[in-house]
Amino acid sequence: VIKCKAAVAWEAGKPLSLEEVDVAPPKAHEVRIKIVATAVCHTDAYTLSGADPEGCFPVILGHEGAGIVESVGEGVTKVKPGDTVIPLYIPQCGECKFCKNPKTNLCQKIRITQGKGLMPDGTSRFTCKGKQIYHFMGTSTFSEYTVVADISVAKIDAAAPLDKVCLLGCGISTGYGAAVNTAKVEPGSTCAVFGLGGVGLAVIMGCKTAGAARIIGIDLNKDKFAKAKEFGATECISPQDFKKPIQEVLVEMTDGGVDYSFECIGNVGVMRAALEACHKGWGVSVIVGVAAAGQEISTRPFQLVTGRTWKGTAFGGWKSVDSVPKLVTDYMSKKIKVDEFVTHALPFDKINEAFELMHTGK
């Protein structure tokens, strides 16, 4: 058993608490990882808020991390101690019907136990003050050591800077893949990106890589416009500057609507606007943001009858074990940006400050 520091969420709506936790050794087909760097994501905040119906407490959150394999359980063949890895919240077992289907990346092998905050055998590897602590998204990167299933880990280039590539564990991969895999943006097309946080910037990068001619960034916070343009946005607008609904503005700006739109906020009203900003006959809108539990989307069916397509994406459609190492290689060869997404680097004990920075859009 390893004793180490972890940020524990004891209950919903309270700040994280830095505690000493016990991390049990990995069982069969499990991997124990020394986490070197982690990022914070709105999904962590969503669960911490208490709005997540799958949220279990007490829990160690975190799902964008990178580290070094410390030890492996019986039967683990894909990684060994010393390997550099990124933990994966969407695993890839290679055996389930989802993994065998090229149309999806949603491996279901450990979905049920992962959703309950437990390892595949139905138990936890974390204890603190004599209490069992739940896992989160199969990763729990807000701990100096974590244990994950062997199908939830990608071995990456040992030379990669872990404080940067940890972002490929969720946000950047999600946005970039939404453009290149899910929407399959075409050269010369017009795109609209709603929400210019990390995921929205990654969508812009994907649209640009795919050869989009016009990329319109949309956000209420104009402080985000300069960064969006650095990533490839050709123009940026704020809905507050218009009297009419933003979808009408976009339809006018683009002679009938955009070819591809992306919702990167998790707001069901914006999801509708993103669909209705698409061009009749061929427009495709991709939902990337995660809405709160129980919320529903609506539009007039005629929007779809007249040729628009509404899609969703999880982790950008990447089959995780196969794709994450390639994304790291693309970053190392300067094909995709990662460093530019990092705004602040804080010591682990300032993790609550990191959440505050995220909530204020900084």
User: Which amino acid is present at 278?
Assistant: C
Check: CB of residue 336 under 8 Å from CB of residue 172: yes
Terminal CA-CA length for the chain: 38
Q: How much is the pLDDT for 361?
A: 81
Overall average pLDDT of the 248-255 stretch? 98
Report how far residue 19's alpha carbon sits from residue 104's, in angstroms, rounded to the nearest whole number. Answer: 38
Q: β-strands 64-72, 30-39: how paired?
A: antiparallel
**220 DSSP assignment:** S
Overall average pLDDT of the 170-186 stretch? 97
Confidence (pTM): 0.96
Overall average pLDDT of the 279-285 stretch? 98
Check: CB of residue 4 under 8 Å from CB of residue 145: yes
Chain centroid, CA 331 distance in Å: 17
Buried b (16+ CB within 10 A) or exposed e, 221-238: eeebbebbeebbbbebbe
Q: How much is the pLDDT for 157?
A: 98
Q: How much is the pLDDT for 229?
A: 98
Average pLDDT, the chain: 97
Closest CA to 286 of 339, 210, 362, 222: 210
pLDDT grade for 82, boundaries at 50, 70 and 90: very high
Give alpha helix (H) positions in 95-170: 97-100, 111-115, 162-165
- Residues comprising the chain, all counted: 362
Overall average pLDDT of the 100-117 stretch? 97
- Quote the tokens at residue 313: 């994406």
Check: CB of residue 31 under 8 Å from CB of residue 69: yes
Strand, coil or helix: what is 331?
helix
Overall average pLDDT of the 269-292 stretch? 97
Check: CB of residue 4 under 8 Å from CB of residue 144: yes
User: Which amino acid is present at 334?
Assistant: K
The CA radius of gyration of the chain, in Å to the nearest whole number, is 20
Q: Does the pLDDT value for residue 52 go beyond 90?
A: no
Chain centroid, CA 159 distance in Å: 23
Q: Does the pLDDT value for residue 18 go beyond 90?
A: yes
Check: CB of residue 317 under 8 Å from CB of residue 177: yes
Q: How much is the pLDDT for 350?
A: 97
> Would you call 125 exposed, middle or buried from its count of C-beta atoms within 10 A (0-12, 13-18, 19+)?
buried
Domains recognised in the chain with CATH numbers: 2-169+319-352 (3.90.180.10), 174-314 (3.40.50.720)
pLDDT grade for 292, boundaries at 50, 70 and 90: confident
> Would you call 85 exposed, middle or buried from its count of C-beta atoms within 10 A (0-12, 13-18, 19+)?
buried
pLDDT grade for 321, boundaries at 50, 70 and 90: very high
* Cα dihedral 194, 198, 199, 203 sign: positive
Q: What angle do CA 221, 343, 163 make, to 5 degrees?
A: 145
Q: How much is the pLDDT for 137?
A: 97
Overall average pLDDT of the 155-170 stretch? 97
From residue 182, alpha-carbon distances to 45, 63, 200, 266, 288 in Å are 26, 22, 14, 17, 10
Could you report the per-residue pLDDT of 181-191, keeping only the tens digit for each?
999 999 999 99
* Contacts (Cβ under 8 Å, ≥6 apart) of 182: 286, 311, 312, 313, 316, 317
Report how far residue 242's alpha carbon sits from residue 223's, in angstroms, rounded to the nearest whole number. Answer: 18
Could you report the per-residue pLDDT of 203-230, keeping only the tens digit for each?
999 999 999 999 999 999 999 999 999 9
pLDDT grade for 293, boundaries at 50, 70 and 90: confident
